[in-house]
Structure 1
Amino acid sequence: MFDFSVLSQYLPRILSGAVLTIEIAVLSLVLSVLVGLVGAVMRLSKSAVLSGLATAYSTVVRGVPDLIWMLMVYYSAQIGLNALTEAMGIGSFEISPFFAGVFTLSFIFGAYFTETFRGAILAVPYGQIEAGYAYGFSAFAVLRRITFPLMMRYALPGVRNNWLVLTKATALVSIIGLDDMTRIAHQAGSSTHMPFLFNMVSALLFLAITFISLRVFAWLEKHYQRGVKQEESYE
């Protein structure tokens, strides 16, 4: 039998861990979107060097498990930095677990967003971009008023999927010592010998985040579909 009075004792800590999880996810999303936009532009660049670098980044990052990247950034990179700083006589350097978690997730999902935005940009009818230049728009105005809004219509499904995977990937930060809701729920389950109950609470919180996210993306898709003629179907 489950002792729900025990759950009430740990619930505030789990909820605080949920807030940390959301903070990590949102910050990682913002940074990975920025990385993805830069990567997509580089992938589509006429420069073989820029295109090659972006392609290599996207291929290598997506081909290595997320857990390995997390361990490499937090442990291996810290050892390398300490060896470098000690050789320079600066002293030891410690990477914050929060910084390591956000940086790693942004680095990983930036590769996925690179491919998402690249495909979306290629889907934009080039005639509309040419029309913007014909009206005298600057390159930035064309990007802001034509390319980006049209691109988002095609990119949103991929952005939504990447975000949903990213929210679940935040559980990886528990292995580097961050007290997110996954780590707190696991510790509570181990100490009370009720792992199923606390892991279920963690799972339900992730489901709540997913449900809210889907509602937000449904609104965004409706927003970016404004002005698009919907085909009517007749039975």
Structure 2
Amino acid sequence: MDYYLTLLSFGATGWGDEIAHGVLFTVSLAICTLPVGLFMGFFLALGINSKEPSIQRAAKLFTIIFRGLPELLTLFIVYYGGQILLNLLFQHVLGMEIEVNSFLAGMIALAFVFSSYASEVFLSAFKGIPQGQYEGAFALGLPWFKTMRLVIVPQLIKLALPGLSNLWLILLKDTSLVSIIGLTDTMFATGLAARNTKEAFFFFALACVVYLALTFVSSMALEAIEKRARRGEVR
């Protein structure tokens, strides 16, 4: 037992500080990705509901592509393909090369995947809002933006929250993919410790505990948010 506690200690003799940094990185990446994915998913849903055929087709194509591609492949395309495209652009305009930030690439790739699924959740939520809500708001003279902000979006959030909660938990686990491009998340840190100490089972079991703990805490928080969002409803 003392041996394993030593492995988890902080400082030069243990791996506790590296693993703690990895957990913090995992949570930070998920939290940074969430608002970007929600924003994109909401506007993708609006695009799919648009009466303009070109916007509708573009939004549908985006969701089909990123729901169809494996998340790991999406990460590689964004990280390597994005770097190639940006270098071509910067070389043509400024005559210089740039290096794509791994954290940003991981966040964008995960946001693309998250938003493609979130758009479907928002679409279902839009269908749950009666048409009379729109008609009543327009009858009161509210413009489209205020109708969405004051009337539709509050109802939309309540209807979409269960589906978005599931997507958050999936996003939290998908952050483990960024270890492939060298980011020091939980999986990277535990994998590094496992290779150096030859204690693979111990450190990967520890990674399981970390992800289960994050899932448990997230589930409790999401349940509290959902209860608060539904306060005042007639049971």
TM-score, shorter chain, exceeding 0.5: yes
Deviation at 1:71, TM superposition (A): 0.9
Match of 1:208 among 190, 207, 213: 213
Range 78-87 or range 57-66, more displaced: 78-87
Distance apart, 1:89 and its partner CA: 6.0
The whole-number CA distance in structure 2 between the counterparts of 1:87 and 1:141 is 43
1:205-229, CA deviations, whole angstroms, 9 ceiling, x for partnerless residues? 1111111111111122112212321
TM-score, structure 1 normalization = 0.92
Matched, 1:96 2:101: yes
In structure 1, what is the equivalent of residue 8 of structure 2? 7
Kept after mapping to 2: 8 A contact 1:124/1:151: yes
- Percent identity, please: 33
Identify which range, 37-46 or 196-205, moves more after superposition.
196-205
Match of 2:22 among 17, 25, 29: 17
TM-score under structure 2 length normalisation: 0.92
* Residue of structure 1 equivalent to 2:153: 148
- Rounded to whole Å, the distance in 2 between the matches of 1:86 and 1:51 is 34
2:7 is paired with a residue of what secondary structure? helix
Structure 1 contact 7–198 (Cα < 8 Å) conserved: no
Q: 1:141 Cα shift? A: 2.4
Aligned to 1:197: 202
* Residue 129 (structure 1) aligned with residue 134 (structure 2): yes
Q: Considering only aligned residues, what root-mean-square deviation do their CA atoms show, in Å?
A: 1.7
**Equivalences for 1:153-168 in 2 at 5 Å?**
153-168=158-173
Displacement after TM superposition at 1:83 (Å): 4.1
Report if aligned partners of 1:2, 1:197 keep a CA contact under 8 Å in 2.
Answer: no
1:26-70 deviation per Cα after TM superposition (whole angstroms, max 9, x unaligned): 111110000011101101001111111100100111001010011
Counterpart position of 2:75: 70
Shift of 1:133: 2.4
Q: 1:211, 1:109 → 2: CA distance?
A: 20
In 2: Cα distance, 1:2 partner to 1:101 partner? 37
Moved more, 123-132 or 175-184: 123-132
Partner in structure 2 of residue 233 of structure 1: none
Q: How many residues align?
A: 230
Query: Could you tell me whether the CA contact under 8 Å between 1:2 and 1:194 is conserved in 2?
Result: no
Q: Distance in 1 between matches of 2:149 and 2:225?
A: 17
SS across alignment from 1:3: helix
Q: Report how far residue 84 of structure 1 moved.
A: 4.4
Q: Any idea what the Cα deviations from partners look like across 1:121-157, whole Å, max 9, x if unmatched?
A: 1111121232222233332222122211111121011
Alignment match, 1:111: 116
Answer with 143-152 or 86-95: which moved more.
86-95
Residue 227 of structure 1 is aligned with which of 222, 225, 232? Answer: 232
Structure 1 stretch displaced more, 220-229 or 117-126? 220-229
1:138 lines up with 2:143 in the alignment: yes
Report the equivalent of 2:185: 180
Structure 1: gaps of 5 or more residues: 231-235
Q: Distance in 1 between matches of 2:72 and 2:46?
A: 28
Give 1:25 deviation, angstroms.
0.3
1: CA distance, partners of 2:198 / 2:143: 64
Structure 1 stretches of at least 4 aligned residues deviating more than 4 Å after TM superposition: none
User: Which of the pair has the greater relative contact order for Cα pairs under 8 Å at 6+ separation?
Assistant: 1
Aligned mates of 1:89, 1:126 — CA distance in 2: 51
Establish whether residue 28 from structure 1 lines up as the match of residue 29 from structure 2: no
In 2, Cα distance between equivalents of 1:165 and 1:107: 13
